[in-house]
Amino acid sequence: MAIIRDRKENHISIGIKEDVQARRVTTGFKDVFLIHRALPEIALQEVDMSTSFLGHKLSAPILIESITGGTKKTRGINAALAEAAETLDLAMGVGSQRVALEKPQLAYTFQVAREKAPNIFLIANLGAPQLVQGYGGKETQKAIEMIDADALFIHLNPLQEVIQPEGETNYKGVLQKIQEIVYSVNVPVIVKETGAGIAAEEAVKIEATGVKGIDVAGAGGTSWAAVEYFRAKKMKNGVRERLGQTFWDWGIPTVASVVETHQSTKLQIIASGGIRNGVEVAKSIALGASMAGFAMPLLKPATDNTEKVLEKLKIFIHEFKIAMFLTGCKNIEELKSTPVVITGKMAEWLRVRGFNPENYVAKR
Ligand SMILES: Cc1cc2nc3c(=O)[nH]c(=O)nc-3n(C[C@H](O)[C@H](O)[C@H](O)COP(=O)(O)O)c2cc1C
């Protein structure tokens, strides 16, 4: 258990001190254009960013992604993120709750999220490898009740597991387990990646288990291979260090993953992985996502205080509002049907994979 706690603290300190962003693979947002309306014919003040996600109202389609929990220090991070989410009426996920299932006296480090944010859409979190190793409906329901969650994230992280020294590399039977969980818990289940994206083929299989959504967490933002590279370096593990370098840029770009999952299922799609401003949130919604999520950009502010998190989120929200104004969209429904031009590498990716990038051009 102490190993898991050390690992979590390491992830946080590496995330803050080192550059663990993808280097060669990019999210693909630079290939995605919204059409500028020189005559928006609306007033900025009347832009309505509110939306609803799985029946819950949000002031804007923004999610604070699962980051942490499990230690005293990470309790503070969850508290700051939750206070900001409550103030701004945004959704939030907590980090993997495995540690608190195994050591219930650490539950308070996650429960603080609900204490500080009694009204938000809050998402519990467990990893697929733990399900394969035996966690079932009972343990999962416990994680949900621990924070009075509105939904459950089951995270997929095969890339991280194969690179970290203590990785759990058995992914056999994960789909079956997801299905079992879907039928035994009392909240909607959302499957999320952690920075390497989800392809159409997996999305179709995931949909068949009865889950309600997918958070793509695509490539182009935080690279878990990079995080593990820095851990391996510290542990003087040369082989793992090399693996971290080799797989640093592994994964499906976020834009490709959003389009693939959205066009091949009827699920709610969350765009995440390298989302770094409000314009990318707008592009995500126009591509079919229901929300867009931020993890790394909020980590450092959350280790400072709630004010810093609020500052950052308010900028993203303001940028998002301006992007809606400049595309002449008064509300989220209009943004969903605003035309999008996909060029370059992303257009090529989508064509090669059998999707039509031009589908988005003449939406309205
Ligand atoms: C320090 C840190 C810890 C994370 N821990 C978890 C976790 O416990 N569970 C999870 O599902 N995702 C976890 N993630 C992944 C994020 O939720 C997100 O999918 C990923 O970082 C990509 O988003 P980004 O590019 O905005 O950082 C973590 C991310 C960071 C930066």
Give the model confidence (pLDDT) of 73-101 as tens digits.
Answer: 999 999 999 999 999 999 999 999 999 99
Residue numbers of the domain that contains 132: 2-360
Residues 249 and 219: their CA atoms lie apart, in Å, by 7
Q: Distance, CA 66 to ligand 1 centroid (Å)? A: 6
Angle at 59 between CA 58 and CA 63, to 5 degrees: 60
Q: Distance, CA 36 to ligand 1 centroid (Å)? A: 32
* CB neighbour list of residue 201: distance below 8 Å, 6 or more residues apart: none
Give the model confidence (pLDDT) of 200-226 as tens digits.
Answer: 999 999 999 999 999 999 999 999 999
User: In the predicted model, what is the mean pLDDT of residues 31-44?
Assistant: 98
Give the model confidence (pLDDT) of 306-318 as tens digits.
Answer: 999 999 999 999 9
Sign of CA dihedral 81, 283, 227, 101: positive
Kindly indicate the confidence band of residue 1, based on its pLDDT and cuts at 50, 70 and 90.
low
Q: Tell me how far CA of residue 289 lies from CA of 91, 205, 353, in angstroms.
A: 15, 19, 19
Give the model confidence (pLDDT) of 255-284 as tens digits.
Answer: 999 999 999 999 999 999 999 999 999 999
- Of 7, 18, 62, 66, best ligand 1 pocket probe by most atoms within 8 Å of the beta carbon: 66
For the chain, state the CA radius of gyration: 19
Contact 302, 51 (CB under 8 A): no
SS3 content of the chain, % helix, strand, coil (to 5): 50, 15, 35
Report the mean per-residue pLDDT for the chain: 96
Give the long-range contacts of residues 174-179, CB within 8 A, separation 24 or more: 174/128, 174/131, 174/132, 175/205, 175/206, 175/209, 177/128, 177/131, 177/132, 178/128, 178/131, 178/154, 178/206, 178/209, 178/211, 179/209, 179/210
Contact 264, 204 (CB under 8 A): yes
Residues 313 and 278: their CA atoms lie apart, in Å, by 9
Residues 349 and 351: their CA atoms lie apart, in Å, by 6
**CATH value at residue 180:** 3.20.20.70
If you count them, how many residues does the chain have? 364
User: In the predicted model, what is the mean pLDDT of residues 92-111?
Assistant: 97
Ligand 1 atom 22: residue of nearest CA: 273
Ligand 1 atom 14: residue of nearest CA: 67
Contact 127, 102 (CB under 8 A): no
Q: How many domains does the chain have?
A: 1
User: In the predicted model, what is the mean pLDDT of residues 300-327?
Assistant: 98
Residues 176 and 172: their CA atoms lie apart, in Å, by 9
Task: Tell me the two tokens of residue 182.
Answer: 């879907």
Percent of the chain with pLDDT over 70: 99
Residues 169 and 65: their CA atoms lie apart, in Å, by 24
Residues 250 and 17: their CA atoms lie apart, in Å, by 22
Per-residue pLDDT at 364 exceeds 60: no
User: In the predicted model, what is the mean pLDDT of residues 330-341?
Assistant: 97
* Short-list 196, 209, 349, CA closest to 272: 196
Residues 175 and 265: their CA atoms lie apart, in Å, by 16
Pick the range with the lowest mean pLDDT from 103-112, 154-163, 353-362. Answer: 353-362
Per-residue pLDDT at 9 exceeds 90: no
Q: Distance, CA 221 to ligand 1 centroid (Å)? A: 10
**Helices and strands (H, E) in the chain, number of each type:** 17, 12
- Residue 166's pLDDT is what? 80
For ligand 1, residues with CB inside 6 Å are 11-12, 15, 65-68, 95-96, 125, 153, 155, 192, 194-195, 217, 221-222, 272-275, 294-296, 299
Q: Distance, CA 128 to ligand 1 centroid (Å)? A: 15
